[in-house]
């Protein structure tokens, strides 16, 4: 199936924009500790082996990483949430390192990078739930996420982890236009934690129904995108300005698996001078448990055939699958082709009605659907442990430069498989010299070699690939 002209025309219309490439720098004096010198429990080995996370702490504060959740001085109610509701046993490496940085006075700002699927959500969720005063019925922590899907997912994590704390939360995301217009005046938010998307949060701040007087924590999930020019930079700075007018004691936490150099510098500029940082080298970011392949396909129809005959044929044996496409139009066309061939797939993209987006995600999370086609709307943050196969039907390219790969988005897409050390496989379907070139730039960027599946028509080749990835 060939992409239509209309498809290439709207190829710039992405549901997800890449990180900014322009910003200014500001150096700061910090002491650097090699994380390998800190003792972290073996339980995280799968996430740790090659992850040389660098901690840069501000000043001489003696932070200590933890072996157990108990050592983090979490309340008994939170421990119960972690053990009973989340079924976690021990903190992951990023949790062990970042939580003391978040929870110890003087509550410095933190820029934290850690691998996809390594448990960053719990870092800031436990941070918010620990620092909020349950007796004070006003917004005290605010978490901004780039998509409604992520805001809903993070709210769900907070609901479960905080179940025994009595702390209240509100998910501030847009409703559909029709319902919104009926609401003339919204009542002020009294929930103690607010998790939402920039548009709605900004609106609530402007209309003064999101009070900021007691705010002491501001979190940006997928922070590099929240601070990128093509992302939500203006909204984020605007929110920070609003908050800065009311309080100077708000701790800022920036979490993401990716921070390119310019966004890193910009992030360091907007947090307070005295802050902590955790970073991972880009060459060490890709997950060892997720095996990546590339497949040469002579034409677009061959790509559909590969998905149908060589991958989806394995059915439920290989768990759930996400197929990433570049544009909304590609999503619609691929959906139609697979449905016509008798496959039961669902598709999510930004042009759908919000209630439909919510329903499609819920069905996939509930395991009712097996294969989900998505634009980059779900490239970041989406957490479904049963996903162990990611297919790049189109490679991700830069928003304003379609011959350049978007390496950050690539890393986030493949990170939808292999959550918390699980096994996974990625198939990059390549068609033509341009795709070859983009793929090789991605390989160079991450300093890795991606194995080629020898023949797109050979079932045995795909079986062998899946077997090597531990999926069959
Ligand atoms: P990311 O770092 O990409 O934001 P998430 O926070 O979404 O990762 O976590 C990835 C998965 O790992 C989630 O399903 C989460 O429930 C699980 N997880 C996180 N921390 C732990 C832990 N300490 N023990 C077991 N599972 C965990
Ligand atoms: Mg995340």
Cα 428 from Cα 70, distance rounded (Å):
42
Quick one: which of 356, 340, 268, 330 has its CA closest to 308? 340
DSSP 3-state of 388: strand
Quick one: which of 10, 18, 5 has its CA closest to 376? 18
Per-residue DSSP letter, 53: P
Contact 423, 388 (CB under 8 A): yes
- Strand locations in 216-289, DSSP E? 217-221, 251-256, 275-279
Q: How many CA atoms lie within 13 A of 443 on its CB side?
A: 15
Ligand closest to Cα of 418 equals 1
Domain 290-468 bears CATH identifier 1.10.357.10 = no
Q: Whose CA is nearest to atom 15 of ligand 1?
A: 119
Distance from the alpha carbon of residue 91 to the mean position of ligand 1, in angstroms: 9
> Which segments of 117-276 does DSSP mark as H helices, in order?
120-131, 148-161, 177-182, 198-206, 223-226, 233-246, 261-270
Cα 255 from Cα 332, distance rounded (Å):
32
Distance from the alpha carbon of residue 288 to the mean position of ligand 2, in angstroms: 18
Distance from the alpha carbon of residue 256 to the mean position of ligand 2, in angstroms: 7
Distance from the alpha carbon of residue 162 to the mean position of ligand 1, in angstroms: 16
Give the position, in ligand 1's atom list, of the atom nearest the Cα of 86.
Answer: 16
Quick one: which of 383, 381, 395 has its CA closest to 426? 395
Q: Whose CA is nearest to atom 1 of ligand 1?
A: 117
Q: Would strands 54-57 and 275-279 be described as parallel, antiparallel, or unpaired?
A: antiparallel
Give the position, in ligand 1's atom list, of the atom nearest the Cα of 221.
Answer: 4
Cα 321 from Cα 389, distance rounded (Å):
5
User: Which residues contact residue 466 at a Cβ distance below 8 angstroms, ignoring those fewer than 6 apart?
Assistant: 314, 318, 425, 472
Ligand closest to Cα of 414 equals 1
Ligand closest to Cα of 112 equals 1
Cα 323 from Cα 303, distance rounded (Å):
12
Q: Whose CA is nearest to atom 24 of ligand 1?
A: 88
Quick one: which of 93, 429, 398 has its CA closest to 292? 429
Per-residue DSSP letter, 420: G
Residues with CB under 5 A from ligand 2 (ion): 120, 381
Distance from the alpha carbon of residue 450 to the mean position of ligand 2, in angstroms: 25
Distance from the alpha carbon of residue 117 to the mean position of ligand 1, in angstroms: 6
Write down the pTM of the prediction: 0.90
Q: Would strands 345-348 and 387-392 be described as parallel, antiparallel, or unpaired?
A: unpaired
The CATH code for residues 5-280 is 3.40.50.300
Distance from the alpha carbon of residue 384 to the mean position of ligand 1, in angstroms: 10
Per-residue DSSP letter, 127: H
Distance from the alpha carbon of residue 336 to the mean position of ligand 1, in angstroms: 34
Give the position, in ligand 1's atom list, of the atom nearest the Cα of 114.
Answer: 2
CA 50 from centre of chain: 20
- Testing ligand 1's pocket by substitution, the residue of 93, 365, 420, 421 carrying the most ligand atoms inside 8 A of its CB is 420
Omega of the bond prior to 377 within 30 degrees of 0, cis?
no
Contact 138, 170 (CB under 8 A): no
Which secondary structure element, helix H or strand E, spans residue 158, and what is its range? helix 148-161
Contact 320, 387 (CB under 8 A): yes
> Which segments of 293-452 does DSSP mark as H helices, in order?
300-305, 328-340, 354-365, 407-414, 433-445
Cα 123 from Cα 130, distance rounded (Å):
11
Give the position, in ligand 1's atom list, of the atom nearest the Cα of 89.
Answer: 24
- Testing ligand 1's pocket by substitution, the residue of 68, 119, 152 carrying the most ligand atoms inside 8 A of its CB is 119
The CATH 3.40.50.300 domain(s) of the chain lie at 5-280, 290-468
Going residue by residue through the chain (472 aa), what tens digit of pLDDT does each one get? 333 333 322 223 345 433 333 333 333 333 333 433 333 333 333 334 345 677 777 665 556 677 899 999 999 999 999 999 999 999 999 999 999 999 999 999 999 999 999 999 999 999 999 999 999 999 999 999 999 999 999 999 999 999 999 999 999 999 754 444 455 678 999 999 999 999 999 999 999 999 999 999 999 999 999 999 999 999 999 999 999 999 989 999 999 999 999 999 999 999 988 999 999 999 999 999 999 999 999 999 999 999 999 999 888 888 999 999 999 999 999 999 999 999 999 999 999 999 999 999 999 999 999 999 999 999 999 999 999 999 999 999 998 899 999 999 999 999 999 999 999 999 999 999 999 999 999 999 999 999 999 999 999 999 999 999 999 9
Name 220's bridge partners: 144, 254
Cα 472 from Cα 467, distance rounded (Å):
5
Q: In the structure, which protein residues have their CB atom closer than 6 angstroms to any atom of ligand 1? A: 88, 90-92, 95, 114, 116-122, 383, 385, 419-420
Give the position, in ligand 1's atom list, of the atom nearest the Cα of 420.
Answer: 12
Contact 354, 423 (CB under 8 A): no
For Cα atoms 456, 462, 468, give the angle at the middle one, nearest 5 degrees.
Answer: 140
Distances (CA, A) of 154 to 14, 332, 341: 23, 28, 36
Distance from the alpha carbon of residue 223 to the mean position of ligand 2, in angstroms: 10
Give the position, in ligand 1's atom list, of the atom nearest the Cα of 92.
Answer: 23
Q: Whose CA is nearest to atom 12 of ligand 1?
A: 420
CA 97, 153, 230, 348: dihedral to nearest 10 degrees?
Answer: 140
């Amino acid at each position: 199936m060939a992409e239509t002209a209309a498809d290439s025309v709207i190829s710039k219309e992405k549901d997800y924009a890449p990180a900014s490439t322009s910003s200014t720098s500001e150096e700061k004096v910090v002491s650097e500790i090699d994380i390998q010198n800190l003792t972290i429990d073996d339980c995280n080995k799968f996430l740790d082996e090659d992850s040389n996370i660098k901690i840069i702490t501000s000043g001489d504060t003696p932070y200590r990483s933890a072996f157990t959740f108990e050592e983090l001085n979490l309340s008994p109610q939170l421990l119960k949430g972690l053990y009973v509701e989340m079924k976690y046993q021990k903190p992951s490496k990023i949790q062990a390192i970042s939580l003391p940085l978040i929870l110890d006075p003087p509550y410095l700002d933190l820029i934290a990078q850690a691998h996809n699927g390594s448990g960053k959500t719990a870092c800031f969720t436990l941070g918010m739930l620990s620092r909020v005063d349950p007796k004070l019925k006003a917004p005290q922590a605010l978490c901004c996420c780039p998509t409604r899907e992520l805001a809903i997912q993070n709210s769900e994590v907070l609901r479960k982890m905080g179940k025994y704390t009595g702390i209240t939360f509100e998910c501030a995301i847009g409703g559909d236009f029709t319902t919104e217009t009926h609401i003339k005046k919204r009542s002020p938010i009294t929930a103690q934690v607010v998790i939402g998307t920039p548009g709605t949060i900004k609106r609530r701040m402007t209309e003064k129904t999101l009070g900021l007087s007691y705010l002491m924590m501001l979190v940006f999930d997928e922070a590099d995108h929240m601070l990128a020019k093509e992302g939500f930079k203006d909204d984020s700075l605007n929110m920070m300005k609003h908050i800065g007018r009311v309080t100077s004691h708000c701790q800022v936490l920036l979490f993401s698996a990716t921070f390119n150099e310019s966004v890193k510098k910009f992030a360091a500029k907007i947090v307070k001078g005295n802050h902590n940082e955790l970073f991972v080298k880009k060459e060490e970011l890709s997950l060892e448990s997720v095996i990546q392949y590339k497949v040469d396909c002579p034409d677009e129809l061959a790509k559909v055939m590969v998905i149908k005959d060589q991958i989806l044929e394995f059915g439920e044996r290989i768990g759930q699958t996400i197929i990433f496409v570049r544009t909304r139009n590609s999503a619609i066309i691929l959906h139609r082709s697979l449905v016509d061939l008798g496959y039961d797939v669902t598709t999510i993209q930004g042009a759908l009605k919000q209630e439909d987006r919510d329903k499609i995600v819920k069905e996939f999370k509930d395991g009712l659907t097996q294969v989900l086609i998505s634009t980059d709307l779900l490239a970041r943050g989406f957490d479904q442990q049963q996903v162990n196969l990611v297919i790049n039907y189109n490679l991700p390219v830069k928003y304003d430069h379609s011959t350049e790969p978007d390496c950050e988005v690539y890393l986030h897409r493949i990170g939808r498989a292999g959550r918390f050390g699980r096994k996974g496989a990625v198939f990059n379907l390549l068609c033509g010299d341009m795709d070859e070139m983009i793929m090789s730039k991605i390989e160079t960027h991450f300093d890795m070699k991606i194995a080629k599946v020898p023949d797109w028509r050979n079932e045995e080749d795909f079986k062998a690939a899946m077997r090597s990835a531990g999926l069959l």
